[in-house]
A and B are shown apart, each in its own frame.
Chain A
Amino acid sequence: MSELAVRAEIADMRGRGALPRENGELVFAAPWEGRVFAMAIGVVRSLGLSWEEFRRRLIAEIATDPARPYYESWLAALERLAIERGAVSPESLEELRSPGGDGTPGGDPG
């Protein structure tokens, strides 16, 4: 159960990385935002990393494009972490996310 408990180092991040909140509660504008939020926690846990590894990338992504919606930066940071840690390959990610869905050849072949 404790792996599901709220962790202050995540919930209480400061500065630019701070989670969007309203009246103290988390704000997810769409379901995918909640899902990528949880995915980051899951990846960090499964790979035995520290939260700082993710947070650092999140801050970098926000700095790259400050106008981008918060959870889009979150997703970009998570993709980067997953790729850099060898959890997923950029090719498989590109293939799956391309329009047309499964099997349809998507982006550049090389």
Chain B
Amino acid sequence: MSESDHHHPTPPSPVEARAAALEALLAEKGLVSGEFIEAIVGAYVNDIGPMNGAKVVARAWVDGNYRQRLLADGTAAIAELEFGGPEGEHMVVVENTSEVHNVIVCTLCSCYPWPVLGLPPDWYKSPPYRARMVREPRKLLAEMGVDVPQSVRIQVWDSSAEIRYLVLPQRPQGSEGMSEERLAGLVTRDAMIGVARP
């Protein structure tokens, strides 16, 4: 027989009880509803990060036709997955190959493809990143953990208000046979900026 075999739920921790108390009072006053809370959490969790971009990349890895459409017209192909909107109206997707490594920057400010990558990391907006990625990309990439062999050309793409870039990383070796969903889990934000490999 098992002592854990009873029906009492785990009592809430003190902080959970405090949060629940506040939520109950706010709901009673009509200030915040449970529905609103769930919608906000969903919006921030889904829209703030690079998950959408990861799905785009994973689709391109498993579907050659989609990959071609993505490289030909990024905005339209991304819209097929129902991503898009402000700060992502004109998307150009650039593909890493054994000959070229792409990396994105915004030398002027911090233009960034929000609908696919969420909000930009702080370092992306920092003056040293913006200046050095143009001046000495190979060195900066190495410092960020990506050693690009001399035989591989580095192409730096300067984002602007008009054009936002997204890097399509190379599919990692050993990922053969993985589902699209698992592949998406391998794709990091930094890989889609070009400062990491998946």
Beta-carbon contacts under 8 Å, B2-57 to A: 14-26, 29-33, 36-41, 43-45, 47-51
Q: How large is the interface on B (under 10, 10 to 19, 20 to 34, 35 or more residues)?
A: 35 or more
State A24–B113 Cα separation when bound (angstroms).
Answer: 13
Least Cβ–Cβ distance between B123 and chain A, in angstroms = 11
Q: What 1/0 mask marks residues of chain B from 129 to 149 whose CB sits below 8 Å from any chain A CB?
A: 000000000000000000000
| CB contact between B50 and one of A11, A23, A32, A88 (< 8 Å): that residue | A23
Distance in angstroms from B63 CB to nearest chain A CB is: 24
In terms of DSSP, what is the predominant structure of the interface of chain B? helix
From the candidates B16, B19, B37, name the one contacting A42 in the complex (CB within 8 A).
Answer: B37
B19 touches A36 (CB 8 A): yes
B45 to chain A minimum Cβ distance, whole angstroms, is 6
Number of A interface residues, CB 8 Å? 38
Q: Which residues of B contact A36 (CB under 8 A)?
A: 19, 22-23
- Is B118's beta carbon under 8 Å from chain A? yes
How many residue pairs link A and B with beta carbons under 8 A? The number is: 123
CB atoms of A41 and B40 under 8 A apart: yes
Binary contact readout B44-75 vs A (1 if CB under 8 angstroms, 0 otherwise): 11011111000000000000000000000000
Extra contacts besides A6-B48, A39-B23 (16): CB < 8 Å: A21-B48, A24-B117, A25-B51, A25-B118, A26-B44, A28-B45, A32-B15, A32-B20, A37-B41, A43-B31, A46-B32, A47-B31, A78-B22, A88-B26, A97-B18, A99-B17
Write the residues of chain A forming the contact surface with B, with a CB cutoff of 8 angstroms: 4-6, 8, 11-12, 14, 21, 23-26, 28, 30, 32, 34-39, 41-43, 46-47, 72, 75, 78-79, 82, 87-88, 92-93, 96-97, 99
A/B interface sample: 13 pairs, CB < 8 A: A6-B47, A21-B48, A23-B188, A25-B50, A35-B41, A36-B22, A38-B37, A38-B40, A39-B19, A39-B22, A46-B31, A78-B22, A88-B25
